[in-house]
Chains A and B, each alone.
Chain A
Amino acid sequence: MKSTVILRCERSEPRRMQGWSGLRTQRAAAKAGYPLTHPSPSGRGLLVLLLASAALLLITPARADEAFITSQPAEMLSIVDLPTGKVVASLPIPGKPAGIAVDPAGRRAFVTSPDGKALTIIDAATRTVERRVDVGGGPLGVAVHPSGSPAYVADWYRHKIVAVDAASGTITGEVAVGDSPSGLAVTPDGALLLSADRDSDQVSLIDTASLARVATVKVGARPFGVTIDAEGTRAYTANVASDDVSIIDIPARTVVGTVKVGQRPYAVALAQGRAFVTDQYASTVTVFDTATLARLAAIPVGDYPEGIAASRDGTRVYVANWESNTLSVIDSASLKVIADIEVADGPRAFGAFIRRTDP
């Protein structure tokens, strides 16, 4: 796949603005396999081969995974091969794509386009658009059920979540939540959907079987991203206006901790017993210990860090820097940036953007 450059056509009628400039302008925004070639005929050789294969199976998944990065102004999905740090495919997605969710099997990716009022469903392996679903309103956050369907889409303007069948693209249901739902996450057992209701300062808990809201939990001010741990017991919200992270005990439906982070936090990733939080205004990733809640570091990254996700083995954390047009790679042990990967203009990658590539 070659990368694609697109030209965005914009309305050319001049507008007269009072105040600052009075100028009328128009802008043309151009803007592994490992071959085992020496199998031994002996039993011992076969054992070695089997052990080697098992070791590869353990090592290979995280190494070969991909990142699906939405670039909002570029209207592009950049697919990054994580072992090599190379953009291996670029897929144009109209309507200012922002939210992303890849299903746990790595089969499909779901991308929201708030300006296009659409959800794009992508075959992740072939990098082709399967369908584009008109969901209306302002689709932003998106999450997918662990089974691979449905996808849940948060409507920022109409304050509800719609469920979309992954295979058919049919809207199968909806549920009203608080104001301007943004981040979504589903528990690993698939039973509960959590919605960060940004302008209601709360998280809604939704029973996925009945698509009914069963609880709300008050959190800090303007929660945006929400992330659930691997056990499905705790959720972490990044609260944009109170500059902190709320930690929710999901079974108890209560906040059990609050941690101060950098200015304008956006989203949270979890790896190796640590939480990694993108601080949009501070241009840092704040790290804290999820057991002690002690702050461990503020790692400088690019400007406007937004989407963040951990590799499946937890050794790396990936950060989309909206202003700097890079994907920063953090070593989650040393807490240092070890690489910056250039991606298309304005990477947002709001959601679960890591795709597993092994079957």
Chain B
Amino acid sequence: MEFKLLTAAVAAATLAVTVVGAQAHGPTRQKVSEKIEINAPPEKVWAVVSNFQDGGWIPVVAKTEGTGGNAAGAKRTLTLKNGATVEEEVAKLEPEKMTLMYRIDKVDVAVLPVTNYSSWLVVTPTEGGAKSQVEWRGAFYRGYPNNDPPPELDDQAAINAVTGLYKAGLDGLKKKIEGGS
């Protein structure tokens, strides 16, 4: 029963949020930030992080397909291991700040319960450039655009899902780089 309720809520929300370009949303945008230290020089880490056409360091990603490299306007479609897809676009690339900003153009709220999502990946040198810190920040609205959301699509659900994605993603990045693969 619970699953059916969730499905119904998700379907309703999906219907509501996919009809307009600038998606309808609640009044409160959320923020999430996660960081990790990686035992590798920042240039090496940035090379992986800034390669928008390979999202393979995010553990749930099975396949990346896209166009435009990593310049502003570049696109990619991530196919997840469960078959869902996420369409994304580079908003801003700042190599001098080792910062990549991108947005999600299209995702089902059943996959990630957010709308109007943007994120930033920032690499900062630590220990005089011997190591790196990677920060992954996100800005987004919850999946449910109206007042009094169901718990599956409320602000906390959105924050939890993005936090989980960032933690798993940064762990995957660290393993990939420190493992030398």
- From residue A264, how far is it (CB to closest CB) to chain B in Å? 7
A interface residues, tally (CB under 8 Å): 42
Name A18's contact: one of B20, B91, B110, B165 (CB within 8 Å): B110
A110 to B170 alpha-carbon distance, docked (Å): 41
A312 to B36 alpha-carbon distance, docked (Å): 45
Name A199's contact: one of B24, B82, B84 (CB within 8 Å): B24
A20 and B139 in contact, given A15-B156, A25-B163, A138-B27 (Cβ under 8 angstroms): no
Could you say which residues of chain A place their CB within 8 Å of the CB of B60?
Answer: 19-22
A304 to B156 alpha-carbon distance, docked (Å): 22
Could you say which residues of chain B place their CB within 8 Å of the CB of A219?
Answer: none
Could you say which residues of chain A place their CB within 8 Å of the CB of B111?
Answer: 18-20
Could you say which residues of chain A place their CB within 8 Å of the CB of B161?
Answer: 15, 17, 19-21
A281 to B159 alpha-carbon distance, docked (Å): 21
Size class of the B contact interface (CB-based, 8 Å) = 35 or more
Chain B at the A interface: SS class: mixed
Interface: B71 (CB within 8 A):
no
- CB atoms of B22 and A17 under 8 A apart: no
- CB atoms of A19 and B84 under 8 A apart: yes
Interface: A44 (CB within 8 A):
no
Chain B minimum-CB-distance residue to A136: B147
Chain B minimum-CB-distance residue to A241: B22
Name B22's contact: one of A22, A25, A264 (CB within 8 Å): A264
A147 to B111 alpha-carbon distance, docked (Å): 50
Name A304's contact: one of B30, B139, B155 (CB within 8 Å): B139
A124 to B77 alpha-carbon distance, docked (Å): 50
- CB atoms of B147 and A138 under 8 A apart: yes
B111-168 contacts to A (CB < 8 Å): 111-113, 118, 120, 137, 139, 146-147, 151-152, 155-157, 159-161, 163-165, 167-168
- CB atoms of B91 and A19 under 8 A apart: no
Interface: B28 (CB within 8 A):
yes
A27 to B24 alpha-carbon distance, docked (Å): 26
Could you say which residues of chain A place their CB within 8 Å of the CB of B32?
Answer: 27
A211 to B32 alpha-carbon distance, docked (Å): 41
A1-53 contacts to B (CB < 8 Å): 10-11, 14-15, 17-27, 29
Interface: A123 (CB within 8 A):
no
Chain B minimum-CB-distance residue to A239: B22
Name B29's contact: one of A10, A14, A29, A72 (CB within 8 Å): A72
A283 and B80 in contact, given A15-B151, A26-B160 (Cβ under 8 angstroms): no
Interface: B35 (CB within 8 A):
no
- From residue B84, how far is it (CB to closest CB) to chain A in Å? 6
- From residue B39, how far is it (CB to closest CB) to chain A in Å? 23
A283 and B112 in contact, given A21-B165, A22-B164, A322-B29 (Cβ under 8 angstroms): no
Could you say which residues of chain B place their CB within 8 Å of the CB of A29?
Answer: 159
Interface: B106 (CB within 8 A):
no
A15 and B152 in contact, given A25-B160, A138-B27 (Cβ under 8 angstroms): yes
A265 to B91 alpha-carbon distance, docked (Å): 15
Chain B minimum-CB-distance residue to A158: B147
Chain B minimum-CB-distance residue to A18: B110
Could you say which residues of chain B place their CB within 8 Å of the CB of A222?
Answer: 20, 22
A19 and B80 in contact, given A27-B32, A138-B147, A345-B31 (Cβ under 8 angstroms): yes
A292 to B118 alpha-carbon distance, docked (Å): 35
A binding-site residues for B, Cβ under 8 Å: 10-11, 14-15, 17-27, 29, 72-73, 96, 98, 114-115, 137-138, 140, 156-157, 180, 199, 221-222, 240-241, 264, 281, 283, 303-304, 322-323, 345-346
In the A-B complex, the 5 residue pairs with the closest CB atoms = A21-B164, A23-B164, A19-B111, A114-B27, A241-B22
14 CB < 8 A contacts A-B: A15-B160, A17-B157, A19-B60, A20-B165, A21-B164, A23-B163, A25-B160, A25-B163, A26-B160, A29-B159, A96-B28, A199-B24, A323-B31, A346-B31
